[in-house]
Amino acid sequence: MKKSDLLAIFTMAFINISLIPSEVFAETTYTLGVVPQFDARRTQKIWTPILKRLEDETGLSFKLAGSPNIPEFEKDFTAGKYDIAYMNPYHLIVANESQGYTPIVRDIGRKLYGIIVVKKDSPITKIEQLDGKLIALPAPNALGAALIPRTEFSTKFNIKPDYTYVKSHTSVYLNVLLGQVAAGGGVQKTFSQQKPDVSNNLRVLYETTKVSPHPIAVHPRINPEISKKIQDAFLKMAKSEADAKLLQKIPMKKLGIANLSDYDELREMGLEDFYVK
């Protein structure tokens, strides 16, 4: 065979291959976004083994997409960046309206509520005393830790504190402990996960209205069969003692099926007047 003929064969083969869509060769990797309740290192430590188990159970590929803070996370899910997302309940309302995200699983064994903490020896004994005081919050739209408290401060207690936003629940508690602020907003679960030298020196001043907790939601571009496979994998993991321990670190203590109607109560709380876009 002539060299010119051989070259022609290779050239035609290359052209034919280049015409095949790239997705035939590339495995789809699904991106999962996580609301940054904790620092990036802790978020990575919690979710990496969970995604590995999801890959084992589904045969799919997943990638964790971190966000430096809650506002960036909100910007990303509003733009539809994530295929799958673990988000706060009001984020779900916003994400559903903007992109069509729907919940597949959530913690069905508890309710989410915010807490306002002060130093253990603080003279503050009631919420009204926070009027005009500086309060640390993780971000304006952190549901239990900021959005519900800010709403209730205004509508229920008629007070106007000042706010500083410190990016994470852990930072909130440290700011209160160090006396940088009069009080701070968090949620009971993240508070209970603090080191004893932090939690033992803080006091819960107030608990907010309780709502259904954070769901894991999927973008509508995800094939329904794939969405069901992911949901089934989470439910199967919840039945395994070892995997359930991984899920509890999210935290999801008792994982079950989630529906959009689980979050209807949030639409009646007037939160949209305090949600920062």
Domains of the chain (ranges, CATH numbers): 23-109+212-273 (3.40.190.10), 114-207 (3.40.190.10)
Does the pLDDT at position 39 exceed 60? Answer: yes
The span from the CA of 159 to the CA of 61, in Å, is 48
Instruction: With cut-offs at 50, 70 and 90, classify the pLDDT of residue 5.
Output: low
Residue 15 predicted with pLDDT over 60: no
Amino acid type, 173: Y
* pLDDT above 90 (res 25): no
Q: Write the CA distances from 69 to 28, 75, 114, integer angstroms.
A: 27, 10, 19
Report pLDDT digits (tens) over 257-276.
999 999 998 888 989 999 98
As a whole-number percent, the residues of the chain with pLDDT over 90 amount to 78
Per-residue model confidence (pLDDT) at position 37: 79
pLDDT band for position 1 (50/70/90)? low
pLDDT at residue 26 tops 90: no
11: confidence class by pLDDT, cuts 50, 70, 90: very low
Q: Read off the pTM.
A: 0.75
Q: Reduced to 3 states, what is the DSSP secondary structure of residue 79?
A: coil
Q: Is residue 6 pLDDT above 90, yes or no?
A: no
Top mean-pLDDT range of 36-40, 113-117, 142-146, 166-170: 113-117
**What DSSP line would sit under 88-147, residue for residue?**
-HHHHHHHHHHH--EEEEEE-S--B-EEEEEETT-S--SGGGGTT-EEEES-TT-IIIII
Q: How confident is the model at residue 45 (pLDDT cuts 50, 70, 90)?
A: very high
Task: Inform me whether the pLDDT recorded for 24 exceeds 50.
Answer: no
